[in-house]
Amino acid sequence: MSAATSSRERILSSVRTATKDIAKDATNRAAAYAGLPRNYIRRGQLSAEARLELLTERLREYDAEVVETTQAGLLAAIKAQLTASGRHCFVAPEGLPAAWMAAGFDWKIDRNLATAEIEKVEGVVTAASYGIADSGTIVLHHAADEGRRVVSLLPDWHLLVLNANRVVETLPEYFDRCKQPPELATYISGPSATADIEMTRIKGVHGPRFLAVILVHD
Amino acid sequence: MSHAAASSHAELDPRKALPFPKAVLPVLRNPQLRKNVAHAIDVIQAKRAKLVAEKTDWQELRTAASALRTHALENLGAYLEQFEERCTAAGGTVHWAADAEEARHIILDILRQENASEVIKIKTMTSAEIQLNPYLEGNGVSTFETDLAEIILQLGELEPSHIVVPALHVNRSQVREIFARRMGRPELSDDPKELTNAARTFLRQKFLSIPTAISGANFLIAETGAVGVVESEGNGRMCLTLPKTMITIAGIEKVLPSFQDLEVTLQLLARSATGERMNPYTSIWTGVKPGDGPQKFHVVLLDNGRSSILGKSKERQTLKCIRCAACMNSCPVYRQTGGHAYGSVYPGPIGAILTPQLMQMKHAQTLPFASSLCGACYEVCPVKINIPQVLLELRSQVVNQERKQVGRVFDPMYLGLRAANLLFAQAWIFHTAQWFGRMGLGMFTGKDGWIHWLPSVGGKWTQTRDLRGLPSQNFHEWWAKQRGSKPSKGAK
């Protein structure tokens, strides 16, 4: 323990010595941080409609399936996607609305399911926290209806349900919206992919190989 | 045999590596390797250029990122302590390692407590920097790299040559040969899709069965104590989610003040690194979350020379680096040599300034000279590290070290430079020397107008490059002829 403590003290003390002429006290540090230049684009310029169109275009660029629907049409849209996937057995996060679990399919509800159980299912349905149109990013904060990280990782097919009013245009707009930093977050911008062999892009290495997104209008 | 093209015996320990001008020779004589490197770089560069061009606020983002990273470094002590406090409060355990050896010991101790004989790994340059894998293997822990490029290198017993696409020097037929041999899959073709699938199958069982993982970190967030990893394949998510115990090793410079700062770095990183708007997967986690992911989480904060770089005003900017590799992709030297000649896990322009400094200027002293100072690296750097400025600073340190060595005084290079000093001092001496030079070099100039071989110190240039012969007249003479007057000797 004392060796570890001394390394900590040694490193911090050499860091403090190295920065003794430039480091600021707490008040001045906060002021300096607040004064950092941030002249990049914060707010998007697109209309709500164009913003959704851009997100859809970006998602389709990486071969995600995208459909738009209304609250009234949501259940039918989920069912249609499940059917079209050709899969039968799905996992649902514990907090997924029961109505979304369409009849006629096998559902496993994730109440701390063992990894081996999740590995056996063919697909997963989750909600999502935000969508970022500019980069085609889906944000999961792993709330109860978005599921533990493992449920959206092992199944090969992932259906995401995203509220249209949760779609922002720029990345800074996402950060403006979530003033309380999430403990867990996964940003998905495309299916699992690699270009490690001769820069040839291959989709589907370890994460889900198939992504479908339902955008829901109020 | 194609295997040789991968140049398998690269030495990436800067203490043992050959000086750059010597290390570069086998590469320059290896056309397959050079072709592999050039191809990969052309692809990345084209994608990057397109996506940077569509970002109208690119320069504002660079300015913001540079200021942000500078601020974080200037106040590193406070932000590190804040990170430690928040990460610990969230259930993580923070360790401090002054050097590579201490970091290796800390990690092995954790693995022993966990009775781990196997560990899965997310690609981490910091782990390569401290040569973790050979150490763990030597102590009875099997390491399994899970990034596709890293598996290729690990199974092929090859060394990385790039920090983002570390196997870019290996082509598909070489990958096929390695996988067929090491996975026992002789039926594999050299189709990248089939090879990628082979890796997926090979690793799936490891992900599901090995309960301990090691990762690096792209950023540490002081405000929340969170750690973030950006990746493409999903191997990172597997390692961060499935195991029971997670160990992250991160350089102390990786801290960002706030969660919101990611709005700057994430917009720059993927575009600079792989030419994507955003990398497919970014994972952020804060300590331990009951019921979700590893229930034991350790962070090892590594100094290993970083705090001494921090204390030097010109060199400090080296630590702003977010490891995107745009500098090596844009470097005319790296393009010709690939990564191995740099004798370090950090190649290219950033490696040329980082490696000698991490070695306290005691090794890798030839690296600051492995540059034409063209400035392309500075222009593309998303956090505006003025690499040429640091290169020049390090060059002067190396020269000052050498000057102190007796015997260096009579080194042909130093004699030559001293002679040049005299020649350039007065125009008439310069013109006379030029005349003699034309006569002298004329003897070595081929019919094609190029010099392919020079004796003595001149050979340092011609052993790897050709030199244009001197023209028959210089600008002064040409100008005088145009004006019909005599060249003015010694005129100011």
ipTM of this predicted structure: 0.96
Write the residue in A183, A198, A206 that is nearest to B234 by C-beta: A206
Q: Compare all CA atoms of chain A with the CA of B260 and give the residue at the minimum distance.
A: A175
Cβ–Cβ pairs < 8 A, chains A and B: 242
Cα(B235)–Cα(A79) distance, integer angstroms: 30
- Average pLDDT score over chain A: 95
State how far the alpha carbon of B188 is from the alpha carbons of B10, B156, B184, B191, in Å: 27, 16, 10, 8
The dihedral of CA A133, A153, B324, B46: what is its sign? negative
The beta-strand segments (E) located in B81-211 are 92-97, 118-121, 142-145
Return the DSSP state at B90.
T
Q: Which of B306, B335, B361 is the last residue of a domain?
A: B306
Query: Mutate which of A15, A118, A149 to test chain B, going by most B C-beta atoms within 10 A?
Result: A15
* Residues A150, B281: C-beta atoms closer than 8 Å: no
- Domain region containing B436: 424-483
Restricting to A residues 37-66, those with a Cβ less than 8 Å away from any Cβ of B are 37-41, 58, 62
Return the DSSP state at B207.
H
Kindly report the CATH number assigned to the domain that includes residue B182: 3.40.50.10420
Restricting to A residues 69-128, those with a Cβ less than 8 Å away from any Cβ of B are 112, 115-116, 119
pTM: 0.91
| Nearest-CA distance B169 → chain A (Å) | 8
Query: Mutate which of B50, B208, B277, B384 to test chain A, going by most A C-beta atoms within 10 A?
Result: B277
Interval B192-233: pLDDT, tens: 999 999 999 999 999 999 999 999 999 999 999 999 999 999
Does residue B348 lie within any of the structural domains?
no
**Per the structure block, which two tokens stand in for A139?**
């944000």
Query: Is B285 found in the same domain as B431?
Result: no
Task: Give the pLDDT mean for A123-137.
Answer: 98
Q: Give, for B170, the enclosing helix (H) or strand (E).
A: none
pLDDT at B411: 78
Does residue B403 lie within any of the structural domains?
no
Task: Give the pLDDT mean for A205-214.
Answer: 91
* Residues A188, B281: C-beta atoms closer than 8 Å: yes
Q: Is A183 on the interface with B (CB under 8 A)?
A: yes
Residues present in chain A in total: 218
Does residue B85 lie within any of the structural domains?
yes
pLDDT at A3: 62
pLDDT at A194: 87
Write the residue in A135, A188, A205 that is nearest to B200 by C-beta: A205
| Nearest-CA distance B358 → chain A (Å) | 15
pLDDT at B53: 95
Does residue B320 lie within any of the structural domains?
no
Write the residue in B67, B77, B152 that is nearest to A37 by C-beta: B67
pLDDT at B266: 98
Q: Give contacts of B256 with chain A, Cβ < 8 Å.
A: none
Q: Is A169 on the interface with B (CB under 8 A)?
A: no
Q: Backbone dihedral region of B171: left (phi > 0), alpha (psi from -120 to 50 degrees) or beta? A: beta
Those residues of chain B that have pLDDT short of 50 are: 1-8, 491-492
Does residue B246 lie within any of the structural domains?
yes
Pairing outcome for strands A210-217 and B467-468: unpaired
Query: Is B172 found in the same domain as B37?
Result: yes
Does residue B469 lie within any of the structural domains?
yes
Query: Is B438 found in the same domain as B299?
Result: no
Interval A2-38: pLDDT, tens: 566 699 999 999 999 999 999 999 999 999 999 999 9
| Nearest-CA distance A42 → chain B (Å) | 9
Cα(A122)–Cα(B375) distance, integer angstroms: 51
Q: Is B295 exposed, middle or buried (0-12, 13-18, 19+ CB in 10 A)?
A: middle
Task: Give the pLDDT mean for A93-112.
Answer: 97
* Residues B260, A112: C-beta atoms closer than 8 Å: no
> Is A158:A211 a contact under the CB 8 Å cutoff?
yes
* Residues B75, A197: C-beta atoms closer than 8 Å: no
Q: Which of B258, B277, B306 is the last residue of a domain?
A: B306
* Number of domains chain B is built from: 2
Does residue B233 lie within any of the structural domains?
yes
pLDDT at B6: 43
Q: Which of B260, B176, B245 is nearest to B214 (CA)?
A: B245
Does residue B338 lie within any of the structural domains?
no
Q: Which of B306, B337, B354 is the last residue of a domain?
A: B306
Task: Show the DSSP H helices in B317-386 as ranges.
Answer: 326-330, 332-337, 348-358, 376-380
